[in-house]
Chains A and B, each alone.
Chain A
Amino acid sequence: MKFAILVNEGPYTHQASDTAFQFAKAVLAKGHEIFRIFFYHDGVNNATRLTTPPQDDRNIVNRWSKLAEEHNLDMVVCVAAAQRRGIVDEGEMKRNGKDATNLAPGFRISGLGQLIEAGIQADRLVVFGD
């Protein structure tokens, strides 16, 4: 089956992004396909490479990046939600006159249309968050 995943909560505060990650892993392990993982609301905070959790804790951001690399996943961060919360790639840095970027590897910033397309293309869009 072809899945799309929507992550609506940030890392560490809320279980949602952990569960979404475990779900994504399980989906792939069962041989299903993930069309796209979309990050919205505080979920965009899953995409900052500047997180530094204690060494004995899971690194949620790196975990996403690694999964994306291993399985060639399309992980998309909503541009409007990202701008509000300071998630920046090269293009956004230039466009908005910022002095840094923080988007983690494996993520890309794009519009909500990518979420709608994922809903259309996938057999199931599974939402994680409140």
Chain B
Amino acid sequence: MFVNRKAPYGTIYAWESLEVVLIAAAFEQDVSMAFLDDGVYQLKKGHNTKGIEVKAFEKTFGALEDYDVTKIYVDQESLSERGLTTDDLALPSRCSPVPILAS
């Protein structure tokens, strides 16, 4: 279970964590991902990073499907707190919004 709590940009945690997830999946591990706190922004549709000159990695999330990573959990409360719904997310069919206890 990989826990994602950071916004997609601003720090490199999100991007380098996604790299670990893909490697773990390539090693045929049983991978699941949880998104909570600002981590829910990683799944938001329409990343535009032109202004900050950082590579947008929204498309790389699409690779998850190729690696059979389908257990993706999104914290409902974190979404609500940020005014987001599952319609705002890039992987709606495979995201299950569930309450996750954020410590």
For residue B98, CB closer than 8 A to chain A, the reply is: no
Complex contact B16–A81 (CB within 8 A)? yes
Chain A 83-113: CB-based contact to B (< 8 A → 1; otherwise 0): 0100000000000000000000000000111
For the complex, give the distance between the alpha carbons of A26 and B19 in Å: 31
Q: Once A and B bind, how many residue pairs between them come within 8 Å at the CB atom? A: 29
Residues of A within 8 A of B12 (CB): 41, 84
Residues of A within 8 A of B100 (CB): none
For the complex, give the distance between the alpha carbons of A116 and B27 in Å: 8
Known contacts A41-B12, A41-B13, A130-B13; is-contact A112 B29 (Cβ 8 Å) = no
Count of interface residues, chain B, beta-carbon cutoff 8 Å? 10
B4-29 contacts to A, CB under 8 A, are 6, 12-13, 16, 19-20, 23-24, 27, 29
For residue A67, CB closer than 8 A to chain B, the reply is: no
Residues of B within 8 A of A112 (CB): 19-20, 23
For the complex, give the distance between the alpha carbons of A120 and B12 in Å: 25
For residue A115, CB closer than 8 A to chain B, the reply is: yes
Residues of A within 8 A of B16 (CB): 40-41, 80-81
Closest chain-A Cβ to B8's Cβ sits at a distance in Å of 15
Residues of A within 8 A of B23 (CB): 111-113, 115-116
Closest chain-B Cβ to A8's Cβ sits at a distance in Å of 8
Count of interface residues, chain A, beta-carbon cutoff 8 Å? 14
For the complex, give the distance between the alpha carbons of A41 and B6 in Å: 13
Closest chain-A Cβ to B30's Cβ sits at a distance in Å of 11
For the complex, give the distance between the alpha carbons of A113 and B28 in Å: 11
Closest to B12 in A: A41
A10-68 contacts to B, CB under 8 A, are 40-41
Complex contact A116–B19 (CB within 8 A)? no
Closest to B13 in A: A41
Residues of B near any A CB (own CB < 8 A): 6, 12-13, 16, 19-20, 23-24, 27, 29
Q: Known pairs A111-B23, A119-B29. 15 more at Cβ < 8 A? A: A40-B16, A40-B20, A80-B19, A112-B20, A113-B23, A113-B27, A115-B20, A115-B23, A116-B23, A116-B24, A116-B27, A119-B24, A120-B27, A120-B29, A130-B13
